[in-house]
Structure 1
């Protein structure tokens, strides 16, 4: 699946962000419970502009995480409504930017806008690409029995089923044991 690099980066960030929530995280705990955990996440995914490093910002990002989790499994027409609302609420005015080591990419809000608002706007732009290309089926929930992790399937044949190799291995082992027991 071929999306623009900034689209892929935004979608990868959604997966990383949502997969910090209980039920989706490796630990099973909320891995975005502190300002320090948010700061650690932001070291892996670059967000330029205003970052407050406070509890209010953390709470807004956690609300964004919940919203993004709900968008991931929607049908195309339902996703359009949510994405349009995200863009409206952010007063998004898309523009091209180039900074740091990044080539031309899209931003939709002022660098002074709150972090969670910038996240929602930029992720909404990425989701518009997914919607326009009719590729919502690439945004899935992990098929492992006890996992709610997000899966971004960028494979050529669209066959990715699990959020991590760990979930895939675990489910394969369960299937192997079931086959062995029934033989």
Structure 2
């Protein structure tokens, strides 16, 4: 599956952000509990514009994480409604921009807008493409028994089931042991 580069990048970030939630994180803890953890995330996935590095911003990003995690699991019609609300709430006005090493891509909020609002709008723009292309089935929750990690299936055949090789290997080993025990 091929989405526009900025769409794919935004969707990958949504997965990474949402998988910092205690229900999905590898550590089983909130991996976005401190301002330093948010800074580390933004060091790996840089965002241009205003970043306050304060508790209010952290709480807003955590609320955004919960919202995006919820939208990820909605059906197409409900996701469209949620995306429209995110864009309305931000009074988003799409425009083309080219900065840093990135070619032309869309933004829909001002660089001075709060970080969490920019995250929501960028995710909403990416989700618009997913909805318009009728590819909501590419947005999944890991099928491993004890994992709630989100995954973005960009494979050609659309059969990705696990958020990581680790989850896939663990579930394959469980299935192997069950088959062996049945013999």
Q: Settle same-fold status: TM greater than 0.5.
A: yes
Question: Mind listing any 5+ residue stretches in structure 1 that lack a counterpart?
Answer: none
Note if contact 1:64-1:120 (Cα within 8 Å) is conserved in structure 2. yes
Q: Is it true that 1:19 corresponds to 2:19 in the alignment? A: yes
Aligned residue in 2 for 1:172? 172
Q: Quote the Cα distance in structure 1 between the aligned partners of 2:90 and 2:143.
A: 33
1:119-130 equivalences under 5 Å are: 119-130=119-130
Aligned residue in 1 for 2:2? 2
**1:48 counterpart SS class:** coil
Question: Mind listing any 5+ residue stretches in structure 2 that lack a counterpart?
Answer: none
**2:22 counterpart SS class:** coil
Aligned residue in 1 for 2:47? 47
**2:106 counterpart SS class:** strand
Note if contact 1:92-1:109 (Cα within 8 Å) is conserved in structure 2. yes
Note if contact 1:24-1:148 (Cα within 8 Å) is conserved in structure 2. yes
- What is the TM-score when the length of structure 1 is the normalising length? 0.99
Aligned length: 183
Aligned residue in 2 for 1:37? 37
**Structure 1 residue 26 displacement after superposition:** 0.7
Note if contact 1:22-1:28 (Cα within 8 Å) is conserved in structure 2. yes
Q: Quote the Cα distance in structure 1 between the aligned partners of 2:10 and 2:112.
A: 19
Aligned residue in 2 for 1:98? 98
Q: RMSD over aligned Cα, in angstroms?
A: 0.5
**Structure 1 residue 73 displacement after superposition:** 1.1
- What is the TM-score when the length of structure 2 is the normalising length? 0.99
Note if contact 1:23-1:146 (Cα within 8 Å) is conserved in structure 2. no
